[in-house]
């Protein structure tokens, strides 16, 4: 198993980015030279990498290394579930809450957070934000742009708003599909659904905050306020019904009246 150092924030201080532990573990594993650390997560990660090199299947690992191994494998995948997990970490949800929503265990969430997305505790969220602006971040993988959009929303507006957005994005035919894997949703429709969900925000209590975020360039390249008529078309195509559909209908009426008055 070949592992390489991988960070989106390598241009800032090496000890001040969300995956700083993984940086140390990667250097240790790739060079064969131990680092000057007694951090248990770094040691555990290196032990997993060495163990997987000898026995390449996770079930053969010692039980105490299993959650760390699962976290490493999740990080290595270009998966939507990884983006949603990181957004929820930024929203400061706890391990049990995230695990229940992502279909895994709290131990795996704890391992992932420690190794790859250390954004909890005083000042840690700002580390991620600094990487966005000063670390040369480039969205990676087929879900990179969507992941960054969700994480920026999590950073600024918190847990409840993120879950509401995810619920809108992963609703099909009146039912909510598994948000981590979304097996029934075409990947190309996800950004459209994101923009559709954001289209509701100017009419909510947090709309002013979100518009200011976009105006200041925090969401480069994304348009949060698509016309309601377009949103309605997307709803029809996606067969979304219920409360969201009624909201959109009311917004369309509101927008139409506003246009006539103008």
Q: Give the chain's end-to-end CA distance (angstroms, integer).
A: 63
Number of neighbouring beta carbons within 10 Å of residue 39? 14
Q: pLDDT at position 201, please?
A: 45
Q: pLDDT tier at 52 (50, 70, 90 boundaries)?
A: confident
Q: Residue written as tokens 């709803």?
A: 235
pLDDT tens digits, one per residue of 106-143: 999 999 999 999 888 777 766 676 666 554 444 444 45
245 pLDDT exceeds 60?
A: no
Q: Residue written as tokens 């555990």?
A: 44
Task: Tell me if 161 is assigned to some domain.
Answer: no
Task: Tell me if 159 is assigned to some domain.
Answer: no
Q: Which of 2, 36, 4, 44 is nearest to 23 (CA)?
A: 4
Task: Tell me if 55 is assigned to some domain.
Answer: yes
Query: In whole angstroms, what is the distance from residue 41 CA to residue 111 CA?
Result: 8
Q: pLDDT at position 192, please?
A: 56
Full domain range(s) for residue 71? 1-137
Task: Tell me if 162 is assigned to some domain.
Answer: no
175 phi, psi to nearest 5 deg = -130, 155
Query: In whole angstroms, what is the distance from residue 177 CA to residue 185 CA?
Result: 9
pTM over 0.85: no
Task: Tell me if 196 is assigned to some domain.
Answer: no
Q: Considering its fold, how many domains does the chain have in total?
A: 1
Task: Tell me if 149 is assigned to some domain.
Answer: no
pLDDT tens digits, one per residue of 144-201: 566 777 777 777 777 877 777 776 666 544 444 444 444 444 545 555 556 555 554 4
Task: Tell me if 2 is assigned to some domain.
Answer: yes
* 179 or 217, higher pLDDT: 179
Mean pLDDT of the chain: 66
As a dihedral over the C-alpha atoms of residue 55, residue 59, residue 65, residue 67, rounded to 10 degrees, the angle is 140
Task: Tell me if 62 is assigned to some domain.
Answer: yes
Query: In whole angstroms, what is the distance from residue 239 CA to residue 222 CA?
Result: 24
**Poorest-pLDDT segment among 18-22, 49-53, 242-246:** 242-246
* 211 or 60, higher pLDDT: 60
- If you write DSSP's letter for every residue of 34-99 in order, what string do you get? --S---HHHHHHHHHHHHHHHS-SGGGS-GGGHHHHHHHHHHHS--HHHHHHHHHHHTT--HHHHH
Number of neighbouring beta carbons within 10 Å of residue 45? 28
CB burial readout 198-229, b (16+ within 10 A) else e: bbbbeeeeeeeebeebbeeebbeebebbeebe
24 pLDDT exceeds 70?
A: yes
């Amino acid at each position: 198993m070949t592992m390489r150092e991988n960070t989106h924030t390598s241009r800032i201080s090496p000890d001040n980015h969300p995956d700083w532990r993984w940086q140390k573990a990667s250097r240790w594993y790739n060079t064969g030279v131990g680092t000057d650390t007694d951090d248990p997560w770094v040691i555990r990660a290196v032990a997993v990498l060495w163990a997987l090199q000898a026995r390449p299947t996770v079930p053969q690992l010692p039980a105490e290394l299993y959650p760390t191994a699962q976290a490493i494998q999740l990080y290595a995948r270009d998966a939507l579930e990884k983006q949603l997990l990181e957004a929820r970490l930024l929203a400061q949800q706890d391990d049990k809450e995230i695990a229940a929503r992502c279909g895994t265990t709290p131990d795996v969430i704890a391992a992932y957070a420690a190794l790859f997305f250390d954004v909890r505790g005083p000042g840690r969220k700002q580390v991620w934000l600094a990487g966005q602006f000063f670390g040369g971040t480039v969205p990676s993988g087929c879900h990179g742009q969507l992941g960054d959009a969700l994480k920026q929303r999590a950073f600024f507006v918190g847990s409840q708003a993120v879950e509401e957005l995810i619920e809108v994005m992963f609703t099909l035919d009146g039912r909510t599909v598994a948000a981590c894997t979304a097996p029934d949703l075409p990947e190309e429709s996800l950004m459209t659904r994101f923009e559709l969900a954001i289209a509701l925000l100017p009419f909510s209590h947090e709309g002013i905050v979100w518009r200011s975020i976009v105006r200041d360039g925090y969401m480069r390249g994304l348009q949060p306020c698509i016309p309601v008529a377009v949103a309605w078309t997307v709803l029809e195509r996606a067969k979304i019904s219920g409360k969201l559909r009624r909201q959109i209908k009311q917004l369309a009426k509101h927008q139409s009246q506003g246009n006539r008055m103008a």
